[in-house]
Structure 1
Amino acid sequence: MGHQISRRTLFRTASGVAAATALGGTLSACGGGTGAGTTSDKLTMTWWGSDDRHKAYKKALKYFQEKNPKIKIEERYSGYDGFFDRFNTNVAGGSAPDLTQMDTALVAQYARKGVIAPIDEYVGKSLDLTGFSKTLLAAGTVDGKLYGVPSGIGVNQLTINRSGLEKLGLELPDREWTWADLKKIAVEVNKKSGGKMFGVDDGGGGTLQAFEVFAREKGQPFFAADGTKLGFTADTLQEWWEYWVGMRKDKACPGPEITSAAHNNLTKNGLVIGKTLITFDIGVYGAGGSITKETLDFLPSPQGDWSGAREGNFVNGGVLLSATKASKRIEDSVKIMNFFAQDKTAIKDMQLQRGIPPTEKARSIVAPDLTDIDKRNMEAADYISKRVAKASNALPAPTPPPKGADQIWDLLFQSNLAVAFGKKTIKAQLGEFFDQAEQILAK
């Protein structure tokens, strides 16, 4: 997972979404059971992540148990692949963990199936959420109730090969740039590199958050609040695809071959393989470090450059910590949530392993020990979160995605690819996209 875990990341959690959906009936039947945990005298906690995240969690939890000797923790951790398949199996078998790291893409489904517990009654008591913004807490809120504490700020930002720009004699764009500015610098990259490089990845459909921000700038969310239909219009998607047709034509972004190869494969990302200098994929610089040796920087998603454009960026919650409803140790789980949210030692131990820390207090604690790139990463996220908080015309933070969201995100990618390869006209693909999306959401 990257430092900023945004709704772009949700596309990569399709296996988890599918697993939750497939076991929907089973989860519903098991919600409210009493079999959480496998060892009666220990609180079981599960999470996924890299080795660095595992080490950070273990170090922090060791300190917690020293300060809270009555709470013994059984730690279970793994990579992301298969994590929610195992979680579902444990829930169905009556052995759900007491406390789990939760994906923002799945929180709504697990909350509505009665698998995870609302924790509102603890807020202001054993759970101190001072410093957490309302937009950030929305990531763990379902139907008006809080089901998880966000670990950090997840924002939609672009990763820039800063050293690559400098080699071409180009400057880093201003943070208040527009979609027109993106095209201008992307075309310059192609020209100054003698046609060897492109400025930016194709965001026409291969990058979820790029279109979502664009639609929000038009005042349209990706999904309607009730999750029963799309929130954006055909005109908005048509304008978006036309923008990227122009980007491909002017050599500002690569052709569909590179876009297709990089889908869900960071090792083939345009910036990583040296074909582009700007990418929408924040996973290039993750909690385990960078997968490129280039010097990186970070910018907000471009702003709309038309009259009446709204703030399209938003803040997400990274990963969450959630208590299972079947657990008999919810109060102790909340103490652990509070520990990671507010304790100075825990904050220093975790650094950016679960995203950019969620409060200004936490960010000030970790800042002195960060690398230069980490500092730029955190500064950019902090800048975006403050800009969103000040914006008077921003839409509410997106609600947790509905059932079938993963299929629609993949449909968006495949639709853009069909246009890029010349297999379909924009007009023909628009009709097909909305017809299929309507069918998916109606299931």
Structure 2
Amino acid sequence: MKLSRATGTIATLALAVGLTAACGNGGADAGPAAPVSMDEEITLTFAWWGNDDRAARYEKAIDAFEEKYPNITVQTQFQSWDDYWTARSTEAAGSALPDVVQMDAGYVRQYGATGQLAELDGQVGVNLDTDGVDETALASGQIEGRTYAVPVSLNTQSIIYNATLLEELGMEPPADGYTWDDLVQWFADVAEAGAEHDPQVYPVGDMTGNNPWFLQWLVQQGKAPFTDDGQIAFTEEDVQAWADLWAPLRESQAFFPAKRAAQLEPKTGLNSAEVVAEANWDTLMPNYTAELGSDDLELMPIPTGDDGKKMYWHSGVMLSASASSAHPDAAAAFIDFMTNDPQVGEIFGTSKGVPATDAQKDAMTIEEGSPDARLLAYEDARADDVTEPAPVPVEGYGEIEVEMARLSEEMQYGNLDEDQFASQWFAYVQDTVKAE
């Protein structure tokens, strides 16, 4: 009889996975891939981060998977972002990750390079089809050419802006193909116009601590942020140049005040209509639109002038298989289903990002003119600018990113200058990477 699907506590799942792993070899010891068995009764464990809405969608998608594979039962659990990685760290210490784990690009190296994740290349063409996923996006789940995670949704950097506020200021977005210097000037012009608006509005929050944009800026300078073997490739001089780029806006107090931003949390200046623009992943636009309570938000591209057409797809959500799984073939089949099956695209829409495959994008029901429609149109328009693979961060980069934001805030409060920001953050980067 098939076991029922259930959610459980972290400890219960860790014990269950540990028992499963003890029953078979899994991972690299499992031998060559074979088509997933349709006769053997199989139970897979699957963990992911998210909320109740994502849970309901996953349950529908898993029902469809179990209908296709009636001999496989998928047991699930989910946590919030922070709790999720605490749980995975505990399980990894005992080599007992769930059979399939929702993975983030920032953690691929941490779990893949330490033998916790199964290499999936051997499953390609057997239980897993990755032909529909952009090659540069696939690279974000690879370490030294080996695949440890498959993107199931994609996004890219953008500037999300309030078109109504911008029109009230008598301004337009910068022309396509603008440069980073053009962007700084545009923000300055928005700040000047916003000072006369009632109530006052600001162009954007301080960009210095925006780590994803720092990485994107490095790539557009022709510099890889990280080496293939997991080391830092940027220099203190690079950090200094990044901080200096935004210094004129900070000196003129054009940025949205940090104190006011803290007062608004968990909302932002953008979805509170106090800021014209926010530099962030494009897939946040529909959510921000809902939070703002109006349909005023649009998307504009990042700077691509001066030979800067070097954007990359970021894998918003990825899926990995545990190296200790007793059922690597079934785990790969589950990842394949979640990546390629049109039913999954119809169920999730853009709720976890734009699907990584056309089969799922084509299955979505999108209302013309809706935020989702504008998001898809933006990504289609930027596709030719995506020429680079996404950087695969070093181990521990999550802590490094948090420290960058903290030091940037200190600078906003006047406790640090650009030189101190650059030297202190780069020293922290070096210490953290060495500690790993």
Structure 2 unaligned blocks of 5 or more = 1-13, 25-40
* 1:406 aligned onto 2:406: no
Does structure 1 conserve the Cα–Cα contact (< 8 Å) formed by 2:271 and 2:289? no
Does structure 2 conserve the Cα–Cα contact (< 8 Å) formed by 1:228 and 1:441? yes
Give the 3-state SS of the residue equivalent to 1:170 in structure 2. coil
Aligned position for 1:200: 204
* 1:54 aligned onto 2:63: no
Superposed counterparts of 1:33-52, under 5 Å? 33-34=21-22, 41-52=42-53
* 1:129 aligned onto 2:130: yes
Task: Give distance in 2, aligned partners of 1:266 and 1:371.
Answer: 28
Does structure 2 conserve the Cα–Cα contact (< 8 Å) formed by 1:216 and 1:312? yes
Tell me by how many angstroms 1:364 deviates. 2.8
Tell me by how many angstroms 1:118 deviates. 0.8
Change (3 A) 1:287 1:426: closer
Aligned position for 1:225: 228
Tell me by how many angstroms 1:430 deviates. 3.0
Query: How far does the alpha carbon of each residue in 1:133-184 deviate from its partner, in whole angstroms, 9 at most, with x for none?
Result: 2111012112321112111113111211122222333334444332233234
Larger radius of gyration: 2
* Count of residue pairs the alignment pairs up: 398
Query: How far does the alpha carbon of each residue in 1:83-137 deviate from its partner, in whole angstroms, 9 at most, with x for none?
Result: 1222333455575422121122112111122222111111122211122121110
Task: Give distance in 2, aligned partners of 1:404 and 1:65.
Answer: 36
Aligned position for 2:242: 240
Tell me by how many angstroms 1:289 deviates. 6.7
Task: Give distance in 2, aligned partners of 1:94 and 1:209.
Answer: 31
* 1:291 aligned onto 2:291: yes
Tell me by how many angstroms 1:340 deviates. 1.8
Give the 3-state SS of the residue equivalent to 2:320 in structure 1. strand
Segment of structure 1 superposing worse, 60-69 or 365-374: 365-374
Does structure 2 conserve the Cα–Cα contact (< 8 Å) formed by 1:271 and 1:278? yes
**What TM-score comes out, normalization by structure 2 length?**
0.82
Cα RMSD of the aligned pairs, angstroms, is 2.9
Does structure 2 conserve the Cα–Cα contact (< 8 Å) formed by 1:253 and 1:276? no
Aligned position for 2:380: 382
Does structure 1 conserve the Cα–Cα contact (< 8 Å) formed by 2:144 and 2:228? no
Aligned position for 1:181: 182
Letter in 1 for 2:276: L
Give the 3-state SS of the residue equivalent to 1:366 in structure 2. coil
Tell me by how many angstroms 1:379 deviates. 2.0
Aligned position for 1:12: none
Give the 3-state SS of the residue equivalent to 1:319 in structure 2. strand
Task: Give distance in 1, aligned partners of 2:342 and 2:192.
Answer: 49
Aligned position for 2:35: none
Query: How far does the alpha carbon of each residue in 1:208-230 deviate from its partner, in whole angstroms, 9 at most, with x for none?
Result: 1222222222212333333333x
Superposed counterparts of 1:323-362, under 5 Å? 323-362=321-360
Give the 3-state SS of the residue equivalent to 1:81 in structure 2. helix
Task: Give distance in 1, aligned partners of 2:150 and 2:174.
Answer: 34
Q: Out of 210, 214, 217, which is 2:213 matched to?
A: 210
Q: Percent identity?
A: 25
Aligned position for 1:273: 272
Letter in 2 for 1:115: Q
**What TM-score comes out, normalization by structure 1 length?**
0.80
Task: Give distance in 1, aligned partners of 2:286 and 2:55.
Answer: 14
Letter in 2 for 1:421: Y
